Structure formats: structure tokens, C-alpha cells
Amino acid sequence: DSGVTQTPKHLITATGQRVTLRCSPRSGDLSVYWYQQSLDQGLQFLIQYYNGEERAKGNILERFSAQQFPDLHSELNLSSLELGDSALYFCASSGGQENSPLHFGNGTRLTVT
């Protein structure tokens, strides 16, 4: 068990809808990262938050947004969903220093129909 908690495990929704994925980092970790894993694109970094502030942005679409709350949990919001958004979405956490290893949650499998 990595200590990173993600909910829900599975999500099935229709095109055009909006969903929210939730993540609680490991105890003591200040950094939260969101990744998307699809068969054709592999693991893609979306966004990172550190202690409530956005720290880095990757290949995140404008339809997607995230935030980190004072208790350090994070939410990833996906809106105007398209079929191509179907993927496994991972949250990961680390201590935030450059040499901190990354620990992943079990992921949320999103299916857009």
C-alpha cells in the first residue's frame, strides 16, 4: 500500500459530462501530481501542486482543472468529456524535494461512452 488514496476506482459517464476525481496524498507529503495513462500516449504528466499552490503544468487540457485543498487532498475536474478522455488517471505524491521518490495511488479508471 503506497499510502496514496484515490476515489472512485471506476467511473463510467457519457460524453459532455463533468466528473471529479479525488486524491489524498501519503501522510507528510506536500506534493500531489496527476497523471493520465492511455494505451496510445503512455503515462502523461498533467499537473502538480505543492502545499496548495500549482507548481508545474504538463499536458493538461483546458477542459481539465485541479486544485489542492488546505488539508492537502486534491481534486481533478474533467469537463466536457470526450471519448478520447477514457483512460486511467493516477494521483501520486512526494515530499516535494527534488530527490523525493514518487508514490502512486491505485488510479481511477474513467470510461466515457
**Based on CB atoms, which residue is closest to other proteins, 31 or 74?**
31
- Is residue 110 within 8 A of residue 46, CB to CB? The reply is no
For other proteins, give the closer residue by CB, 19 or 107: 107
Q: Which residues bind other proteins (CB under 8 A)?
A: 2, 31, 33, 42-43, 45, 48, 55-56, 58, 88, 90, 92, 94, 96-104, 106-107, 109
CA angle centred on 87, ends 85 and 89, rounded to 5°: 105
Contact (Cβ atoms closer than 8 angstroms) between residue 37 and residue 86: no
In the complex with other proteins, the residue whose CB is nearer, 62 or 99, is 99
Count of C-beta atoms within a 10 Å radius of residue 79: 15
Instruction: Report, in Å, the least distance between residue 47 CB and other proteins.
Output: 9
The distance of closest approach from Cβ of residue 67 to other proteins in the complex, given in angstroms and rounded to an integer, is 16
